Amino acid sequence: MDVSERRVMMLRFTVFVFLLIHVSGEVLNRDAANGQLGSKMVDGKHDNILKPGAFASRPADSHPRQTHQPIPPVDKHKMSAAKPEGVKPPAIRLSETKECGNDIIKHCNPKIYKNNFAILDCLQNDFKIMDDLSSDCQHYIWVYKRNLTKDDRFDYAAQEVCKSELSQIHECSQLEKGKGLIIPCLVDNIENVTGNCHTYLEKMARIVFSDYRLIYHFVDQCSVDIEQLKCGRIGPADENDVHTQGKTLECLANKIGDLHDGCRKQLLRVAELQADDYHLDRQLYYACREDRERLCADVPAGGGKIYECLFKHKFDKMMSTQCKEMVTIRQRLIAEDVKVEKTFYSACRKDIKEHGCNKKDKVAEGDFRRANILLCLENAIKTEQVISNECQIEMAELRQDLMEDYSISPEILNDCHAEILESCENGLQRGGKTIHCLMNLARPARDQRKHAAQSEMSPKCRRALEALIQEADPGSDYRMDKVLHMACEPVVQSGCKHVQPGDARVISCLMDHLDSEIMTDECEERLMEIQYFVARDFRLDQHLFSKCRRNAKELCGVSGNWIQDRFKDDKKKEYTVACLYRNIRQEKAGRKDQVNEQKGVSKQCKTEIMRVMRQRAHSVDLRPEVERVCLKDLGMYCSDMDNPGPNQEIQCLQEHLDTLEVECQEVIGNFTEDEDEMPELDVILMKACTPMINKFCDTDDGLEGDDTDNIMDCLIRNKNKPRMDEKCRAGIEHHQLISMKNFQFDHKFKEACKRSVSKFCKNKKSKIDVISCLSEHVRNDTLLEEKHRIDKVCRKQLRAEVLERGEDIRLDEKLVQACHNDMEDRCKDVEKGNAKMLECLKRNQKVLSKPCHKLLFKREQEEAVIGDYKVHSVCKAMIKTYCDDDDMKEDEILPCLRKHKDKQEFDHKCRELIVKREIAENKDYRLNPELQKKCRLDIPKFCKNVLHTQKNDDELQGKVVTCLRKRFIEKKLSRDCNDVIRNVIKDSAHNYMEDPVLASTCEKEIIKYCGDEHEMAMKQNSGGLNKVEMVQSSDGSGKVVECLKQNFLKRIITNDACKQEIQRVIQEAQIDINIDPLLHMACQRDLQKFCGDLEPGEGRRMACLLAELEDHPKQVSQECRKLLDKRKQLWELAAQGKPVEGFHDVYQQIVASPSKNYLLFVICSIIGVFFLVGITCGRIYVANIFERAVKSLHGIH
């Protein structure tokens, strides 16, 4: 606008002011000339805006109302008749009128006497002044204001000042002058007006808004509502009562939810127009004038700044109750129309338009409800669209107000009234505490007794609360919730300072610190109240929503329209995380829904899902899919937990898994699967074990990167180490016990063996049954040396599971049931873990109950082929040193260790354990896979009588092995079997306990005649009923066996059965010198010297040594020669005492006899005599027969 235009505008405005003063005085003069003020209604046609009706009663503290007759409206015909043509009546100043002169002098500054507008401001800006005015002045002022808006010359003046604006606002320019419509119309469009016109209209607005009947179209649209809702009376009786008129607007605002659309629109329009200057909201202005001076004295008026200041100080103790009530009403109007909040709308107007937040088909002007606008703008932020900083600041202010004051949310106020009244101290709690009370009430009680006493939240209130949380969105910025902010600020300062304030990751950081020492009870409680709702609408988690919204829409059918879904009871948004996680698992398992075959969860979304799953594992409250179906079970089984810790309710449900309701059982089963796949979900475990993971698993060879499967494997492998934390060990054991309930609960096992299970064990459910089933197949295929039906991957994992089962008897539920009484009787104080209980049962195997003995023996068979935990635990270093071969099978590890066990550097404890296992193997060949495989053909050939007379489930007590040892002496075994039996004989020569038949048959003789040697063998373990069978260690160089031999030689032993076993042992040693430890040690140098080129076995080296002794006795060492002489005596004695069982035994004894040549001569002579006698006697006998035949023939003839 150039200088000339400004001059023209100033000239027009000056003319207008002159006309305004002139016309106002002229109007009042005419009214006075037509009679006294308020005498009677002259012209009824101008009173059509005043309609009869009821009005709200006057407040008790207000002054008595003065009753006046209505003032006649301006009558242009009479006015023109009353004045001479061309004569202008003098302008009247309000200060000079007899009706108001004294009041103006009393209440107003003399400096403003010449300015009627200033006088109006003075008289109507204070309730006390208005009440103190005389009734005549009150009526005079009201008529003056009404006529200002009705007189056509005011309309002409307005047209002069607002000429350009009227040309653009056709709605106002086409209105009839003199009806009091043009100025209110311009005021209604004041936001489109600038310059002098705007200044003029601001002046007029204070007049217009002082009485709702002066507001453009207001009475037309709201008369019915005023009548029906009893918000006032539209009639002449109280038209000048400012209290009544203001109360009408206040009443309508309080009942805005019940208004018709037209009146609601008009009321909101009025509030919008009042938004710029709080003086225009007369009721609020009157109620808060003193509060403004106390609390907002430094805030300049205009731009909605006073409103904003009052909103901030609403809960200030210095704010009066009347002001607080009016501020609350104003805030409720903001819920219906954000344009009522001037500062917010000014800051966000551009963003609202750019993002189409005000569009709605049903409302042509657009939907400006607070929820609609806030959700739209929040959605824009979460979808990474640009929102101005000014707008974001105002959004934050508004969201804070929502979380702090429930009364400004109409839905909460209406739908949660009963809950607030009964459970939340009738809303008297300030600063957001009432809203948090409702949040807490929304969380269902799990204790059925408590549930009966607690008021249940209505569905309407729950939906209203959910809508409020959506709108305020405290999950994206914890500062939006004052209660949460105050409770958690110390925690944030301690643990989350690295996160920028206002970032949604602050909430995530707090969730990560739920179990840390810095977390306070108050912060945790407030945080869980918020997270309860966040967990039920994935859109409230900003990072999750931004990364997963597309996947949620495509894979889970979640709508992206917040507004349409705001009050819908839509379960999809509750289960979105579960849905997305299910899709992640399906992708990982290599299967997808047919519908979503081409779709998948993005990498960023997967990361967020895993974060959320980890954080929400703390409580059932944060897992809606669990809470919904398990509420009854929680009350039944877990109600005694007054303050359940993180994940304790889940653990409780897991422990009662078998007795849960079907739906709950399924959900907890799924969660347990997830927990095994993702150990972070087991909050208790991870809290206790994170230091242990850092200690044992960072350098663990089996752990690669972040492989969560290997984390549990690592913890299980190290759980019995001395440095392992007790709480971590308990968590690991709980995890193991729960996984045993169902094969599906062990993710790694399930994935490795699902094909084998579906093919060979499809009817098995529990993990222990599946392990047993698969173990049987693996064992059979291994022993029969057939192609494995169980694939290699599954066999490897099965080995790990069998080892795990062997570590703790509690992981074998069936064995615990079968051996419960035996454990109490024989192993009462023994630790159940670290294989100690199982070893105790094995030591007492002979006295166990039949069911326990039978099942324990079956477990031993499985361990022998698939994996023995105790061997792997005790002999870990030796396995790594001597048997660290990737291709080595499990059943080859013990034979490998056996080969090296006599080495000097071999671990003593490992050697003891190997001896134990050898003793068990020799008692029953089925525990020795190597023997079973290599003697597979020999056993049924030579020992079928033993097998036929023994039950399949009973131990054979060494009978089969002894049978094979006898055939070893006879040299009838196959080559492979012979090698195995030779090793068995060799080991038993060092330790008589490895010859179970000898040990049991000669038990009394050992104790009686070999006490010293026996005591040496008993040093390691002297407990138990049967001391001979309880020997745990080797007796070194076979001194007990040597003692028995010497006593046999001295003919002291009289027990025939024992003598036979000793004879067998002596004959075994005769076949191979390596089997006789004492002789081998004494003659070692001689063997190397004379027989080094001969292979051991079949008596070759023994025969060589004996031949050398016979041919060159002096060349043999004295020690060896001396011991060989003793052995020859033993062999002779053993040969004498051996019972002859067949021609083979006879032959063996003759060959072994020193007089074998003589015996052979005698036998041959006897045979020769029989031959000669046969020849001689045979001829005579034949001749006699011939003669008799001839005689008989002659007789016939």
pLDDT digits (tens, 9 = 90+) for 421-453: 888 888 777 778 899 999 988 887 654 434 444
pLDDT category of residue 150 using cuts at 50, 70 and 90: low
Residue position matching structure tokens 């009393």: 106
| H-type alpha helices, 108-194 | 116-124, 127-132, 135-150, 152-161, 163-168, 170-173, 182-188
Report the SS3 class of residue 565. Answer: coil
Q: What share of the chain is helix, strand, coil (3-state, %, to 5)?
A: 70, 0, 30
Report the SS3 class of residue 108. Answer: coil
Provide mean pLDDT across the span 283-310.
Answer: 86
C-alpha to C-alpha distance for 440 and 437, rounded to whole angstroms: 5
What pLDDT was estimated at residue 545?
Answer: 87
Is residue 761 predicted with pLDDT exceeding 60? yes
What pLDDT was estimated at residue 348?
Answer: 92
Provide mean pLDDT across the span 273-294.
Answer: 81
Of the CA atoms within 13 Å of residue 1140, those in its CB half-sphere come to 10
Give the closest residue to 324 by CA, choosing from 418, 243, 407. 407
Write the pLDDT tens digit of every residue in 313-343. Answer: 888 889 999 899 888 888 888 888 888 888 8
Provide mean pLDDT across the span 231-249.
Answer: 55
| H-type alpha helices, 951-1019 | 959-969, 975-990, 996-1001, 1003-1009, 1011-1017
C-alpha to C-alpha distance for 937 and 953, rounded to whole angstroms: 21
pLDDT greater at residue 1009 or residue 50: 1009
- Which range has the worst mean pLDDT, 99-103, 831-835, 870-874, 951-955? 951-955
pLDDT greater at residue 484 or residue 154: 484
pLDDT greater at residue 746 or residue 19: 746
Is residue 201 predicted with pLDDT exceeding 80? no
Is residue 34 predicted with pLDDT exceeding 60? no
| H-type alpha helices, 660-791 | 662-677, 683-692, 708-718, 726-739, 747-760, 767-783
pLDDT category of residue 1096 using cuts at 50, 70 and 90: confident
**Letter for the amino acid at 1030?**
M
C-alpha to C-alpha distance for 1135 and 1144, rounded to whole angstroms: 13
Residue length of the chain: 1197
pLDDT greater at residue 627 or residue 939: 939
Structure tokens at 576: 């979105």
Provide mean pLDDT across the span 529-558.
Answer: 87
- Which range has the worst mean pLDDT, 238-242, 269-273, 533-537, 1184-1188? 238-242
**pLDDT over 70 for what percent of the chain?**
77
pLDDT greater at residue 1130 or residue 247: 1130
C-alpha to C-alpha distance for 412 and 415, rounded to whole angstroms: 5
Provide mean pLDDT across the span 852-858.
Answer: 92
What are the φ/ψ torsions at residue 656 (nearest 5 degrees)?
A: -105, 25
Is residue 983 predicted with pLDDT exceeding 70? yes
pLDDT category of residue 1093 using cuts at 50, 70 and 90: confident
What pLDDT was estimated at residue 993?
Answer: 86
- In this structure, are residues 212 and 219 in contact, taking their beta carbons and an 8 Å threshold? yes
C-alpha to C-alpha distance for 830 and 840, rounded to whole angstroms: 8
- In this structure, are residues 711 and 750 in contact, taking their beta carbons and an 8 Å threshold? no
- In this structure, are residues 790 and 781 in contact, taking their beta carbons and an 8 Å threshold? yes
pLDDT greater at residue 146 or residue 9: 146
**What is the average pLDDT score of the chain?**
78
Which distant-in-sequence residues (6+ apart) come within 8 Å of 813 by Cβ? 740, 766, 768
* CA R_g for the chain: 53
pLDDT greater at residue 656 or residue 127: 656
Cβ density class 737-753: b for 16+ within 10 Å, e for less: ebbbbbbbbbbbbbbbb
Structure tokens at 608: 């967020």
What pLDDT was estimated at residue 1084?
Answer: 86
Other C-beta atoms closer than 10 Å to the C-beta of 816 total 15
- In this structure, are residues 63 and 73 in contact, taking their beta carbons and an 8 Å threshold? no
Whole-number Cα distances in Å, 64 to 238, 286, 431, 567:
12, 18, 39, 47
**Letter for the amino acid at 23?**
V
C-alpha to C-alpha distance for 683 and 613, rounded to whole angstroms: 11
User: Could you write out the DSSP letters of every residue in 481-543?
Assistant: SHHHHHHHHHHHHHH-TTSPTT-THHHHHHHHTTTSTT--HHHHHHHHHHHHHHTT-GGGSHH
C-alpha to C-alpha distance for 92 and 204, rounded to whole angstroms: 19
pLDDT greater at residue 1 or residue 1168: 1168
pLDDT category of residue 1166 using cuts at 50, 70 and 90: confident
- Dihedral, CA atoms, 566, 572, 575, 576, nearest 10 degrees? -90
- In this structure, are residues 244 and 55 in contact, taking their beta carbons and an 8 Å threshold? yes
Give the closest residue to 1109 by CA, choosing from 1093, 1123, 1130, 1094. 1123
pLDDT greater at residue 41 or residue 1066: 1066
pLDDT category of residue 391 using cuts at 50, 70 and 90: very high
What pLDDT was estimated at residue 1191?
Answer: 63
Check residue 147 and report its DSSP letter. H
What pLDDT was estimated at residue 605?
Answer: 92
What does the H/E/C string look like for 428-441? CCCCCHHHHHHHHH
Please report, for the chain, the start and end positions of each structural domain, with discontinuous segments joined by +: 3-213, 535-616, 622-678, 682-739, 749-866, 1072-1154, 1155-1197
What pLDDT was estimated at residue 1186?
Answer: 59
Write the pLDDT tens digit of every residue in 122-135. Answer: 887 676 777 788 88
- In this structure, are residues 647 and 682 in contact, taking their beta carbons and an 8 Å threshold? yes
Q: What angle do CA 954, 960, 965 make, to 5 degrees?
A: 155
C-alpha to C-alpha distance for 28 and 144, rounded to whole angstroms: 7
**pLDDT over 90 for what percent of the chain?**
15
Other C-beta atoms closer than 10 Å to the C-beta of 1096 total 16
Give the closest residue to 196 by CA, choosing from 158, 168, 170, 167. 158
Which distant-in-sequence residues (6+ apart) come within 8 Å of 772 by Cβ? 858, 862
What pLDDT was estimated at residue 175?
Answer: 77
Write the pLDDT tens digit of every residue in 339-385. Answer: 888 888 889 989 998 888 877 654 556 678 888 888 889 888 888 88
* Cα 1175 → chain centroid: 102
Provide mean pLDDT across the span 223-244.
Answer: 62
Provide the whole-model pTM: 0.66
- In this structure, are residues 372 and 334 in contact, taking their beta carbons and an 8 Å threshold? no
Provide mean pLDDT across the span 157-174.
Answer: 79
Provide mean pLDDT across the span 1161-1165.
Answer: 83
C-alpha to C-alpha distance for 944 and 1037, rounded to whole angstroms: 34
Report the SS3 class of residue 102. Answer: helix
Whole-number Cα distances in Å, 486 to 445, 472, 490, 882:
26, 17, 8, 64
* Cα 514 → chain centroid: 13
